[in-house]
Amino acid sequence: MLRLLLSVLILVFVFRYLLPRLKVTKILWREWRARYNRAEWEKIRRELEKK
């Protein structure tokens, strides 16, 4: 019973506090992923140019 109450409290906390910040996190994640992918493409392109 106590465990159920605790999990409900955690869910409320997550929805109340983390979801507004999640949008910011998603934007940051997209930025980082784009940067990372660009670096990967550069590496692949260099490998292809060597051949």
H helix intervals, 1-51:
2-13, 19-50
Q: What pLDDT is attached to residue 5?
A: 93
Answer yes or no: is 11 within a domain.
no
Q: What pLDDT is attached to residue 28?
A: 84
Answer yes or no: is 31 within a domain.
yes
Answer yes or no: is 7 within a domain.
no
Answer yes or no: is 9 within a domain.
no
Of the candidates 26, 33, 40, the residue with the CA atom closest to the CA atom of residue 48: 40
Q: Which residues form the domain of 26?
A: 20-51
Cα–Cα–Cα angle for 49, 31, 46, nearest 5°?
5
pLDDT in tens, 8-46: 999 888 778 877 787 888 888 888 888 888 888 889 899
Rounded Cα–Cα distance for residues 2 and 13 (Å): 16
Number of structural domains (the chain) is: 1
Answer yes or no: is 6 within a domain.
no
Answer yes or no: is 2 within a domain.
no
φ and ψ at 41, to 5 degrees?
A: -65, -40
Q: How is residue 51 annotated by DSSP?
A: -
